[in-house]
């Protein structure tokens, strides 16, 4: 983060919800934030505050919703 760029590979769930607030603060201070996340997740969704790079997973949103 000292260089102004931050790569984040979050875990879905409460860790992401807390981390998202920190990332928003860093973005407001001028840092470039890139988040690498699965295309299907519970809480990790694209926003205008950072760049999202999504990768494919071998299940659908419906399958994940059914499990939970």
pLDDT of residue 2: 66
pLDDT of residue 51: 94
Task: Read off the pLDDT of residues 15-67 as tens digits, 9 standing for 90 and up.
Answer: 888 899 999 999 999 999 999 999 998 889 888 889 999 999 999 999 988 88
pLDDT of residue 34: 95
The H-assigned helical ranges of 1-68 are 14-28, 61-67
Based on the structure, what is the number of domains in the chain? 1
Please calculate the CA angle 42-1-24 and round it to the nearest 5 degrees: 45
Full residue range of the structural domain in which residue 29 is found: 5-67
């Amino acid at each position: 983060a000292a260089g102004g760029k931050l790569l984040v590979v979050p875990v879905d769930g409460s860790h992401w919800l807390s981390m998202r607030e920190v990332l928003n603060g860093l973005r407001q201070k001028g840092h470039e934030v890139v988040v690498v996340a699965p295309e299907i997740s519970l809480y990790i969704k694209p926003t205008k505050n950072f760049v999202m790079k999504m990768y494919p997973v071998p299940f659908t949103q419906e399958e994940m919703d059914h499990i939970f």
